């Protein structure tokens, strides 16, 4: 006996295939959405983590900036204190300078020469005096230039012959002079002395 299927099986198979296709499409779309949501969540977590790190870094940078400001303030205070300390040391060293100046003048002044006035302005010293001869003035210049450790750069500003009365009847010829010298700082004198000692 032969069995013949008269039902529309092709249409049912097509419908089944369409349903399977639709189901697989829906499954693919759903899988795609799930994957997209998972990727989006992953990236959101990464962004949140990076933002948190950035906030921590900004906080630490702020702390470091504050420390840098404090360090800069401390450095400026240290520099100001060093300037003050140097000024105090300079004043301490310079307070004995007039004593050295007068002592050195006494040492280097040749016989027959005397000083009428001394003016000091900073390191520059101007000396006015009277000598019995031009040779004595020349000797004074030589002494101040080569033998004195407290004076440098002796410069004769002027020399002028004049008569000085000794008594009512007698007068003698003298030479009034003016010279400029540079006074050496005590610290520089000490350096020269230390160098001389080290060479020995």
Domain range list for the chain: 10-95, 97-199
100-130 pLDDT per residue, tens: 777 778 887 888 888 888 888 877 888 888 8
pLDDT computed for residue 1 by the predictor? 61
Give the mean pLDDT of 53-70.
Answer: 90
Two tokens, residue 36: 């997209």
For tokens 């049912």, what's the residue?
A: 12
pLDDT band at residue 30 using 50, 70 and 90 as cut-offs: very high
Q: Please tell me the pTM assigned to this model.
A: 0.47
Percent of the chain residues past pLDDT 70, beyond the cut: 84
Distances (CA, A) of 144 to 14, 64, 78, 152, 155: 127, 59, 40, 7, 10
72-97 pLDDT per residue, tens: 888 889 999 999 988 887 777 667 67
pLDDT computed for residue 145 by the predictor? 76
Q: Does domain 97-199 have CATH number 1.20.120.450?
A: no
């Amino acid at each position: 006996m032969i069995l013949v299927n008269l039902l529309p099986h092709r249409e049912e198979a097509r419908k089944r295939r369409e349903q399977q296709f639709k189901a697989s499409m829906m499954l693919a779309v759903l899988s795609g959405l799930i994957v997209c949501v998972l990727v989006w969540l992953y990236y959101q977590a990464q962004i949140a983590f990076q933002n948190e790190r950035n906030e921590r870094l900004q906080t630490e940078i702020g702390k470091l900036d504050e420390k840098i400001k404090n360090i800069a303030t401390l450095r400026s205070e240290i520099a100001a204190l060093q300037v003050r300390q140097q000024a105090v040391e300079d004043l301490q060293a310079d307070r004995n300078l007039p004593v050295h100046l007068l002592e050195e003048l006494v040492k280097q002044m040749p016989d027959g020469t005397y000083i009428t006035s001394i003016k000091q302005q900073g390191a520059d010293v101007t000396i006015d005096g009277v000598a019995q001869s031009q040779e004595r003035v020349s000797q004074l210049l030589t002494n101040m230039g080569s033998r004195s450790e407290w004076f440098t750069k002796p410069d004769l500003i002027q020399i002028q012959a004049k008569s000085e009365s000794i008594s009512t009847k007698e007068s003698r010829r003298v030479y009034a002079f003016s010279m400029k010298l540079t006074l050496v700082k005590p610290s520089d004198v000490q350096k020269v002395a230390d160098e001389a000692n080290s060479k020995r």
